[in-house]
Structure 1
Amino acid sequence: MEISPSTQRIPIQDVIFQETEDIIETEQNEALKAIRAFLKGKTAYDVLPLSFRLLVLDTSLLVRKSLNILLQNGIVSAPLWNSKTSKFAGLLTSSDYINVIQYYYQNPEKMDKIDQFTLDGLRDVEKAIGVQPIETVSVHPFKRLYDACLKTVASKGRRIPLIDYDEEKQREIVLSVLTQYRILKFVALNCKETRMLRKPLKDLNIGKYDDLATATMDTPVIDVIHLLASRGISSIPILDSEGILQNIYESVDILTLIKGGIYNDLKLTVGEALMRRPEDFEGVHTCTDQDRLDTIMDTIRRSRLHRLIVVDSKGRLKGIVTLGDILEYLLLEAKDETLQPK
């Protein structure tokens, strides 16, 4: 049979490539459906380990003492309890300490009273500096894990307390705190379909790649604090003069500097402050936009991380992908999903 001059042969490698892309797309969608079904079939309680420790802080506690308690126990957040009302009063995080720093930075004449400041005064601090109020979102432990995830994503928080209610005593009970990391690790360990998430980051449209807040080793810590507060973020990549990633400064690093109520160290440079970072720092987790979601989920299964810094082949910063970004993609990539839990 003769082929007319206008007929063009499609190279066989292009056909194979297209078939491979179609297979990956199909498997990706099947994996997302399976993961969502898995989350809808589990409760928030299912994620909790067999044994765990929970610290709950009373709102009458001094801010300075609360900080020491967090550091002594190696934790970065804790549920708050109002003993007067016998109710959950929100979640204390590193952002609240940053708010206190911002408040006294704007009102230096009140610095001498900082040691008498209690946790129930955090609301006044929020109002004074015009920031978001302390996190109060929570979920019942026997709600669907899917709904707990939706609440976490909607609130932009990295963790959500599990609050039960004792009918006999007519009071709330703080059961535990569920983190995005624990949720994603639970999925990675128990949902084999994560191995089918073979699309690279560049094709997923997740993470932030423009207008990134950055600093250098010479940047004063107080400037980084202002950036964290104004952007509502939890970390700042530290770059050299060529934009190559050197380290990362996290909001939790500030807790070490203000331990014991000493606030003068905020004039240190980032480089000097990082020298005081605890030796058990988990390191900076990096990836490229070519990394696939299945390998990232495997990393979450094996290592504790909170975010991935996206770099190019030379180590230059390109973007940041948080666990919240990944969780939101797993939940909401389908067009018929919304941010409203049932």
Structure 2
Amino acid sequence: MAGVGQNATLSPIRSPTSVKRKGSSRKRAVSQLPPVQTPETHDAALKSIRASLRKQTSYDVFPVSFRLIVLDTKLEVKKALQCVVSAPLWNSDQSRFAGMFTVSDIIHLIQYYYKTQQATYETVAADVETVRLENIRDIERTLGVETVPLIHEHPSNSLYVAARRLIETHARRLPLLDYDTETGQELIVSVLTQYRLLKFVSINCGKDVSQLHMPLRKLKIGTYVASSPNSPVQPPNEDDEEERKTNPYYPIATATLDTRVYNVVHMFSERGISAVPIIDENGVVVNLYETVDVITLVRLGYYQSLDLTIKEALNERSPDFPGVVICNASDSLGTLLQLIKKRRVHRLVVVEGEAEERQGGKKGRLLGIISLSDVLRYVVGNLDVTEEEE
């Protein structure tokens, strides 16, 4: 694993077995060879993980100590951003849960004012900062953005049910609600995220995770450049035929260091994505621009920075940015889950490695992108299949 950034080098994540150790003069005891890894062992491990998710509840994922910030829908967006970039919403007039405030809401809000009002930076700043959280859904409907479903689960339900709920609704976060036994009033207990759920799997199903040895490419986890050799076949989409002709990295949205920030904001809003790979003239990944980078500009009031190039905007990024996590398509699902256990990962950029380079490719060139949604969808399995059928 590695990061792509100011002080990072480009290299894929590697399994522990590939790490070279210093030689030793001490003789080692003869050990038995590990069992032969086959597709059957991979499938058995996957089935075992799913069985474990059915036995555990969302309560089991909670850390020993945590805090929960809940925002009143009457709060102004500017004040909300000073607290968090994501939080449950509470309707104080009706004393009930009102959904989630997320980074996507701010992206849509900025998109709305630039697209429909033809506003200047100054008016956008004024409007974005004074609008209340309760008005965001109306603005998104005007923009034509699909309405976010008001989803939630009880924390005592199984993790398997919660995971399927996340997949069905394409949500990254699932609010967990309970009820006061005396008043019957809703209580927001916590929020289950894709990352926390997958980290729980990697920690508590370690033996099974080590058996998930098959490569990401073969498992078709993630979205891959359609024109790349040996990439998983993408289902044809007639509506995207024009983009397929003009975008050499179709169906992945990309940008360069010279792309304007606002153009990337447009990609975030139109495609419903949270990150765009930044590539050079050869398609080699040099960085990643994320929705949280835009929120940093908005939080600081740098609305005029949205007209800067990505290269210029990256100067505003926090110096402790961990870098871009990359991998090769030949890396295994088990290795990916082990990585999630060690560090906070929200997505991985798949790049061409030595195998692709031998076939005429270029090492480090963009091949695909894997989100936590992709990983969770594979781990949980086909939503059309019932528990009995599995």
Which TM class, normalised by the smaller chain length?
A: 0.7 to 0.9
- The residue aligned with 1:325 is 374
CA distance, structure 2, for counterparts of residue 309 and residue 333 of structure 1: 24
Task: Give yes or no for the alignment of 1:80 onto 2:95.
Answer: no
Match of 2:110 among 76, 89, 101: 101
Task: Give yes or no for the alignment of 1:286 onto 2:326.
Answer: yes
Match of 2:143 among 105, 129, 149: 129
Is the 1:288–1:312 contact (alpha carbons within 8 Å) kept by the matching residues of 2? Answer: yes
Bigger Cα displacement from structure 2, 50-59 vs 261-270: 261-270
CA distance, structure 2, for counterparts of residue 21 and residue 246 of structure 1: 39
Task: Give yes or no for the alignment of 1:207 onto 2:222.
Answer: yes
Match of 2:202 among 173, 184, 188: 188
CA distance, structure 2, for counterparts of residue 269 and residue 139 of structure 1: 41
Shift of 1:280: 2.6
Is the 1:240–1:246 contact (alpha carbons within 8 Å) kept by the matching residues of 2? Answer: yes
> 1:196 is paired with a residue of what secondary structure?
coil
Q: Normalising by structure 1, report the TM-score.
A: 0.88
> 2:252 is paired with a residue of what secondary structure?
coil
Is the 1:99–1:126 contact (alpha carbons within 8 Å) kept by the matching residues of 2? Answer: yes
- The residue aligned with 1:270 is 310
Report Cα offsets for 1:209-238 as digits up to 9, x if no partner: 131000001100000000111111111000
Q: Normalising by structure 2, report the TM-score.
A: 0.77
Q: Percent same amino acid at aligned positions?
A: 46
1:237-276 matches, cutoff 5 A: 237-276=277-316
Shift of 1:114: 3.5
- The residue aligned with 2:248 is none
Q: Which amino acid in the other structure matches residue 323 of structure 1? A: L
Task: Give yes or no for the alignment of 1:304 onto 2:318.
Answer: no
CA distance, structure 2, for counterparts of residue 26 and residue 337 of structure 1: 21
Report Cα offsets for 1:116-174 as digits up to 9, x if no partner: 21000012111110102245211110011100000011111111111111131221111
Is the 1:64–1:261 contact (alpha carbons within 8 Å) kept by the matching residues of 2? Answer: no
Task: Give yes or no for the alignment of 1:226 onto 2:240.
Answer: no
Is the 1:221–1:270 contact (alpha carbons within 8 Å) kept by the matching residues of 2? Answer: yes
Shift of 1:315: 0.3
> 1:289 is paired with a residue of what secondary structure?
coil
CA distance, structure 1, for counterparts of residue 319 and residue 151 of structure 2: 33
- The residue aligned with 2:60 is 46
Is the 1:234–1:251 contact (alpha carbons within 8 Å) kept by the matching residues of 2? Answer: yes
Is the 2:37–2:211 contact (alpha carbons within 8 Å) kept by the matching residues of 1? Answer: no
Distance 1:333 1:130, change over 3 A: closer
Shift of 1:333: 5.2
Is the 1:39–1:145 contact (alpha carbons within 8 Å) kept by the matching residues of 2? Answer: yes
Bigger Cα displacement from structure 2, 280-289 vs 147-156: 280-289
Shift of 1:202: 1.6
Bigger Cα displacement from structure 2, 95-104 vs 111-120: 111-120
Bigger Cα displacement from structure 2, 101-110 vs 203-212: 101-110
> 1:283 is paired with a residue of what secondary structure?
coil
Distance 1:233 1:167, change over 3 A: same
Is the 2:253–2:276 contact (alpha carbons within 8 Å) kept by the matching residues of 1? Answer: yes
- The residue aligned with 2:39 is 25
Match of 2:365 among 316, 323, 327: 316
Q: Which amino acid in the other structure matches residue 112 of structure 2? A: Y
- The residue aligned with 2:9 is none
Is the 1:282–1:304 contact (alpha carbons within 8 Å) kept by the matching residues of 2? Answer: no
Q: Which amino acid in the other structure matches residue 103 of structure 1? A: Y
Task: Give yes or no for the alignment of 1:89 onto 2:104.
Answer: no
Is the 2:73–2:133 contact (alpha carbons within 8 Å) kept by the matching residues of 1? Answer: yes
CA distance, structure 1, for counterparts of residue 111 and residue 349 of structure 2: 27
CA distance, structure 2, for counterparts of residue 289 and residue 114 of structure 1: 41
CA distance, structure 2, for counterparts of residue 140 and residue 133 of structure 1: 22
Is the 1:92–1:134 contact (alpha carbons within 8 Å) kept by the matching residues of 2? Answer: no
> 1:88 is paired with a residue of what secondary structure?
strand
For structure 2, the 5+ residue unaligned runs are 1-33, 226-250, 354-362
CA distance, structure 2, for counterparts of residue 334 and residue 155 of structure 1: 12
For structure 1, the 5+ residue unaligned runs are 1-19, 71-75
CA distance, structure 2, for counterparts of residue 299 and residue 119 of structure 1: 36
CA distance, structure 2, for counterparts of residue 334 and residue 101 of structure 1: 34
Bigger Cα displacement from structure 2, 131-140 vs 40-49: 131-140
> 2:286 is paired with a residue of what secondary structure?
strand
Distance 1:39 1:199, change over 3 A: same
Shift of 1:277: 1.1
Please tell me the root mean square deviation across aligned C-alpha atoms, in Å.
Answer: 1.9
CA distance, structure 2, for counterparts of residue 269 and residue 123 of structure 1: 30
